[in-house]
Structure 1
Amino acid sequence: MKVHTTNYRDTFIEIPQNSPITTAGIPPERKQKTIARKQYELLINQPYQLTSDEVLYTTTAFHKGISKEEFFSKGQPCFRASPLVKQYGWGVHFNHEEKMAIYPMESEEYQRFKQDSSLKHIQSMRQKR
């Protein structure tokens, strides 16, 4: 069985070019946590501790009892499609070990990563018009 991955190395995912937001927002707390809120909580509390595969599996498939092998046997949307990036204004940096951290779009760190030519730069999926 072929296993697909969503991990990146030395990469920065930027918010969509057509995004209307000007500052990053925190996904709202709800009785039933959204995927965005689950991803936010994992990444804000554990920067550079998890890979994209680990975050996506934990927030979308683990609670459904789906095995990692089954989950990753089909291609999964990467963090370019994450609501954290598309809707809430968080950039995602992946280090050389494929571990990730999030940065609000208005932060100095976001701007530094955005200008860093040693990183691969990827635009988030565009907002729907």
Structure 2
Amino acid sequence: MIFRGLAGGAAAAIASAVALVRPAEATEATEATEETGETAGPVLAKTSSIPVGGGRIISGRWVVTQPVKGTFRAFSAKCTHQGCAVATIRGGIINCPCHGSRFRIADGSVARGPATRPLARRKIKVSKGVIRLG
């Protein structure tokens, strides 16, 4: 009897945690743009949240950078050496903590190995202060 009560309580806690996640997922829903009618991808970040000469790692999946004011780039956050997620961005460099690979924020190219290939570039659209996957 006690076990059933605990299991029921755990199920309720999981269900409420899932309910809390759903509003965040809604921000990544695709939307049609008014001007063109084409579908825009999920919002990655606001332009104001990406520092000039730096960047941000978004949801552990993407890296969005602003190498110079007003120029934005996006890359996969997956290191091309062995697939680890990059972890930090400092001094114009995207850093992988697993084996020390480093990538340039301007183009994702390798600044230091062991990686030999650049980070995969992602297409983005920047409009009205918002950066979306394109």
Query: What TM-score, normalized by structure 2, do the two folds share?
Result: 0.22
- Structure number having the greater helix percentage: 1
- The structure richer in strand per residue is 2
TM-score by length of 1: 0.23
- The higher-RCO structure (CA 8 Å, 6+ apart) is 1
